[in-house]
């Protein structure tokens, strides 16, 4: 299924426009110079509950989960970005009101069928919709600068052990490398004193004890 078809199926399912003819949603006629305030042919705005947010039951006082899970919401948002129909989705946890407003200002150019193009009518699933329900957007620290992982935290996460001791190891390595020539010279002198002639057996200390 293409990205545009997925968004179209979502809108048709929510708006319930499968049984309505295409001629029921006529494009608004251009405003005439004589009567610019004419609203005779304006497309009606439908009021539909937002399926991306939880719903409160007034009788029981309990919250019902959203109609679409977060995974399905993220998938719809992804497909809407690919097809350029982001303004057709309702706001939710995976897409903010600001993003939808910015997308709606750019405009939507959906693909129409041959019959719809000949009749000069708008696709029913693209009709304007007013999504009811309050969307509570969570403020995430660092989201505006693109760094949400460590925003508002005093130190880095636990991480791997080699990451935690990396700085300490670098300091110790630098300290050892600073005195490395001296240590190499002492090391060679030690074995040179112990075995002046490598072809002869090593010298044994006087206080050395036998293993038996």
- The structural domains of the chain, with segments of one domain joined by +, span 3-132, 161-194
Q: Give residue for tokens 């009518």.
A: 121
Mean of per-residue pLDDT scores for the chain: 78
Q: pLDDT digit string (tens) for 160-190?
A: 899 889 999 999 999 999 999 999 998 888 8
Answer for the pair 124, 25: CB distance below 8 angstroms, yes or no: yes
pLDDT (tens digit, 9 = 90+) per residue, 84-119? 888 899 999 998 888 888 888 876 655 555 555 555
Q: How far apart are CA 114 and CA 117, in angstroms?
A: 5
Alpha-carbon distance of 212 to 203, in angstroms, equals 19
Cβ atoms 199, 208 nearer than 8 A: no
Q: What's the CA gap between 79 and 2, in Å, rounded? A: 8
pTM above 0.85, yes or no: no
What pLDDT digit, counting tens, does each position of 38-69 carry? 445 555 677 889 999 999 999 999 999 999 99
């Amino acid at each position: 299924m293409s990205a545009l078809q997925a968004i179209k199926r979502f809108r048709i399912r929510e708006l319930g426009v499968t049984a309505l003819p295409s001629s029921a949603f006529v494009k608004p006629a251009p405003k005439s110079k004589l009567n610019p305030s004419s609203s005779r042919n304006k497309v009606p705005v439908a009021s539909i509950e937002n399926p991306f947010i939880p719903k409160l039951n007034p009788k029981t006082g309990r919250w019902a989960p959203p109609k679409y899970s977060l995974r399905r919401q993220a998938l719809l948002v992804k497909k809407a970005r690919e097809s350029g129909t982001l303004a057709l989705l309702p706001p939710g946890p995976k897409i903010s009101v600001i993003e939808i407003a910015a997308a709606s200002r750019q405009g939507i150019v959906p693909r129409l069928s041959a019959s719809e193009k000949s009749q000069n009518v708008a696709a029913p699933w693209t009709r304007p919709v007013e999504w009811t329900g309050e969307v509570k957007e969570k403020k995430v620290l660092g989201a505006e600068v693109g760094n949400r992982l460590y925003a508002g935290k005093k130190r880095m996460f636990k991480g791997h052990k080699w990451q935690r001791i990396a700085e300490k190891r670098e300091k110790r390595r630098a300290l050892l490398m600073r005195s490395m020539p001296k240590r190499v010279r002492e090391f060679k002198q030690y074995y040179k004193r112990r075995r002046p002639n490598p072809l002869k057996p090593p010298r044994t200390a006087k206080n050395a004890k036998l293993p038996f």
